[in-house]
Structure 1
Amino acid sequence: MKIYTLHTKQNLPITLEQAWAFLSDPKNLKTITPDYMGFKTLSGDDRPMFPGQIIQYIVTPVLGIPMKWVTEITHVVDKHYFVDEQRFGPYALWHHKHFLKEIPGGVEMEDIVDYKVPMGFIGQLVHPFLVKPKLKEIFDYRHKKLIELFGEYKAQ
């Protein structure tokens, strides 16, 4: 069983409170997801984030085929981190940690995603040219969208 990790960091020129308010609101996930993904929340985004929260989405990650994705928010430490885990969806495993840390002039946002592709050996074969580049593209879009929304961080 091969488990892959995606690790990204981004600095934003906003306060910790602003970053937390935006990133911990499930309604904002659509804003930072590429339009072609057809992202739509079905339920679970009607309250502030809490441990045990179940959020259901529809996404179209490949060939425009709609797929249901169900995540559970398993851990929340206010203004520090939260964890979402896939309960049902396109991955055999999806464990996504979101960390926030104050830095001079802004906040550092760090994402660590541990994931396993489905279909065993076949999934591992397609990972380098299908899954990994698609995830990189999604997180690159998120990076650009956050700059568009909050501006470019300038080191202090």
Structure 2
Amino acid sequence: MKIYQVHTTQRLPINMDTAWNFLTDPNNLKTITPNYMGFEILSGADREMYTGQLIEYNVTPVLGIKTKWVTEITHVAQKEYFVDEQLYGPYALWHHKHFIRPVDGGVEMEDLIHYKIPMGWLGQLLHPILVKPKLTQIFEYRRKKLAELFGELPA
């Protein structure tokens, strides 16, 4: 089965503390997720991020179908990176690395996601017409929302 990848970077004119505190607070996911996704945290967002943390939420990614998603924070390196992996949800595999590093005038955020689509060859057929465009749309919304909240540095 094919493994797909999404890779994004964005530079924000904020300091490391502000970036880290915003990005590691699961409650901020709703702010940077499109409203049509119906993002709702059910449990696990009541503490500062830590390795082993489970976060359970509902999303409505496509066709109005509400889906439960459970992720585990599998790695945390304070003010450097964290990794979330889907334990249960719409993907056969979801591994999302979030890197944060200082740059002149602010920070650079980098997201690297590896994912697999369920349903074998049918999932692979649907990927370019349904899944990839939806992920592109979600991460573009995230980019715009972060720029709206914090501003943006040139790349």
**Normalised-by-shorter TM-score class:** over 0.9
Identity of aligned residues (%): 69
Supply the RMSD in Å over aligned alpha carbons.
0.8
Match of 1:103 in 2: 103
> What stretches of structure 2 of length at least 5 have no aligned partner?
none
Match of 2:79 in 1: 79
Match of 1:43 in 2: 43
> What stretches of structure 1 of length at least 5 have no aligned partner?
none
1:13 and 1:154 in contact (8 A); partners too: no
Q: Within the alignment, does 1:30 sit opposite 2:21 as a pair? A: no
Counterparts in 2 of 1:116-131, with a 5 A limit? 116-131=116-131
| Aligned residues between the structures | 155
1:152 Cα offset (Å): 2.2
Report the Cα distance in structure 1 between the residues aligned to 2:7 and 2:62, rounded to whole angstroms.
Answer: 22
Q: Deviations over 1:90-147 (max 9, x none)?
A: 0000000000000000000000000000101000011011100000000000000000
1:52 and 1:73 in contact (8 A); partners too: yes
In the alignment, residue 89 of structure 2 is paired with which amino acid?
A: G
Match of 1:2 in 2: 2
Match of 1:17 in 2: 17
1:154 Cα offset (Å): 4.5
